[in-house]
Structure 1
């Protein structure tokens, strides 16, 4: 998608009275005003990672129940450090990854190109690996990565028993367990456990501050004290020890305080919305019910027609249904990733159905 197309879509979405999928875009001035209402702007800024960055690190460690947490400007950098740590500590240059995981799909294979590691695919199935698959890996690995949820398989999660069994199996092979937890915040309702209980199953956890918790950027790598010492050294080597990062830290703290308590409600409402969407003519929803507040939606139209319908509905009726469509591997169908956030809470199942029919009529021309 070109920048102009994205900016046009965001501007159109921002002007709507009602939004079903996604978060209403706000201006930079509005974001700053919101921070002024909830952030500690009277404190001194950070200097190479102290001040508000330290406060954020302590807050993440408290939430996850880990010894420490280390702030990183990007999740890609944090994940490289986690995998490098596993390789150095075990003497194994292979890592167990999923072909649909972040490292393969969204990080440009940095683990291989920058760190010199090799991937052993834990499974080719569109889900996280099982304990049996970990036990049967073709060679010893330093780290087994589990993405919670596995976004590019449809935001899917294992069950709690499956997750704990994978952890046991990985450690029996001598590997560390790393959770790619960019969206771990919304995984707890399905798993039926607290953040601390989930994090305790892994040796390290990466979390994101702009996915689901409404920060502007940044990530953290949480785990033991030895990992933290290692992470701070390699963060510096990778160029991540910036002079000041207080805006991202303050927005992250604000988002954790405001959005984290709301996420279970988003997850519950996503199930209502998904059921209503699945009843639309030709619609496919996966997973059904959703595991988190995000899921995949397919409709039997080309992506360009669905995006055009979304813009027309928004411009003419001030209603944002769902955009960001792309043609899929399912013949005749386009797919989008659906996010049920705060704005979606205003929609009943009947509202979704009624607007969905209007949306489909526009797509059909």
Structure 2
């Protein structure tokens, strides 16, 4: 049985949002389209798409935004254009940046830019580390929150100092904001305040939002127009963006409104996990509605425990497990969404106790 099949058999899933079936999703999309008089766009021209792009741009405090089929294309394009503008192919990236970890060297193979790794792999990079780079940078990319290190973010004062430095040194500051919507509650500030000072911002339409896929890239009118042209050159000019836009737009407002609740639930989970010290939480305090749990068992054993509890109790604990830095240790990720929000406190505590007991056997 595959992981997906085993998960589907569980009546209780901890991470993320409820996953509707394709039939449920398409039915909801059809009803929303009917209620809102939606027509297809044609190669990016259409009322729904352009209204949604303008809405995202306004939320981010930017002049414009443009839809892109994938975040991979959006980010590589943004950083390439930033480097072209400043006459330097060098981009400062955290060692765990998505561009380095998950994009199979596209920035090198397509000659988009050259990456300089900055900072410690376990912490967000700092202003001091940026200032220590002696080369002239075309851009610096900052992920908020940084997924591979448990959703960590720089302190607000540090973030503002980074913005000021990049502006003074004419370094294009780009945000990997795949989960940016999740940081507003943690920072206690509007998303536009967080995005202020960034020259470009990428946001996902499917991660926290729960759409089918797609992304937005926001920035100045001129920058966004150039990015749209580069999407065409890279094969991103699909005839209809409407399925992706509808899937995101029909639940966008509700998802953003729920983000504070997800964050409060994350804060509650931190307290509940204190009863199980063998399950160590990273970061040390909630910085978004996601976290990493460091477990005192190997990756293989962690997945065996997950599958055993799924088969015997109908509870799905987590989606992926990673090898820990220490032998016989592993790391699992939780995105705190609708699933954990809906579970009663007592039931969550029961599941945590069951999981903790399995870790000792």
Query: TM-score of the superposition, structure 1-length normalised?
Result: 0.92
- The more displaced of 279-288 and 206-215 is 279-288
1:7 is aligned to: 4
Q: Give the match for residue 20 of structure 1.
A: 14
Q: Is 1:329–2:325 an aligned residue pair? A: yes
Give the match for residue 200 of structure 2: 204
**Distance in 1 between the 2:14 and 2:3 partners?**
18
* 1:293–1:339 contact (8 Å) kept in structure 2: yes
Comparing 182-191 and 68-77, the one that deviates more: 182-191
Aligned residue in 2 for 1:75: 71
Q: Is the 8 A contact 1:277 1:352 kept in 2?
A: no
Q: Offset at 1:290?
A: 1.8
CA–CA distance in structure 1, aligned partners of residues 162 and 67 of structure 2: 27
Distance (whole Å) between structure 2 residues aligned to residue 217 and residue 106 of structure 1? 16
Give the counterpart of 1:85 among 77, 81, 86: 81
CA distance in structure 2 between the partners assigned to 1:266 and 1:332 by the alignment? 31
2:45 corresponding residue in structure 1: 50
* CA-to-aligned-CA distance 1:87-121 (integer Å, 9 cap, x gap): 11111111111111111111223222213421122
Cα deviations across residues 319-338 of structure 1 (Å, max 9, x unaligned)? 33334223322222221001
Is the CA contact (8 Å cut-off) linking 2:140 and 2:173 kept in structure 1? yes
Deviation, structure 1 residue 362: 4.1
1:298 alignment partner, SS class: strand
Query: Alpha-carbon deviations, 1:250-300, whole Å to 9, x = none?
Result: 111123122111011101111111332242151111113221111100222
How many Å apart are 1:21 and its aligned residue? Answer: 2.2
Distance 1:242 1:74, change over 3 A: same
Deviating more after overlay: 24-33 vs 350-359 = 350-359
Q: Deviations over 1:307-355 (max 9, x none)?
A: 2333333333333333422332222222100111112123455433322
User: Paired residue for 1:30, among 24, 32, 50?
Assistant: 24
Contact 1:10–1:25 (CA under 8 A) maintained in structure 2 = no
- Partner in structure 2 of residue 297 of structure 1: 293
Compared with structure 1, are the counterparts of its residues 281 and 229 closer, same or farther at alpha carbon in structure 2 (3 Å cutoff)?
Answer: closer
Residues 165-202 of structure 1 show CA distances to partners (whole Å, capped at 9, x for unaligned) of 01111222221111110110001122221011111120
Task: Tell me how large the CA RMSD over aligned residues is.
Answer: 1.9
**Aligned-pair distance for 1:153?**
1.6
Where 1:240 maps in the other structure, the secondary structure is: coil
For residues 316 and 128 of structure 1, the distance between their equivalents in structure 2, rounded to whole angstroms, comes to: 39
SS at match of 1:276: helix
- Following superposition, the deviation at residue 222 of structure 1 comes to 0.2
- Unaligned runs of 5+ residues in structure 1 are none
Q: Unaligned regions of 5+ residues in structure 2, if any?
A: none
- Alpha-carbon separation, structure 1, partners of 2:77 and 2:172: 13
Instruction: Give the aligned length.
Output: 359
- Normalising by the residue count of structure 2, what TM-score does the alignment of the two structures yield? 0.93
The answer to whether residue 134 in structure 2 is matched with residue 142 in structure 1 is: no
Go from structure 1 to structure 2 and tell me whether the alpha carbon gap of 1:150 and 1:287 turns closer, same or farther (over 3 Å shift). Answer: same
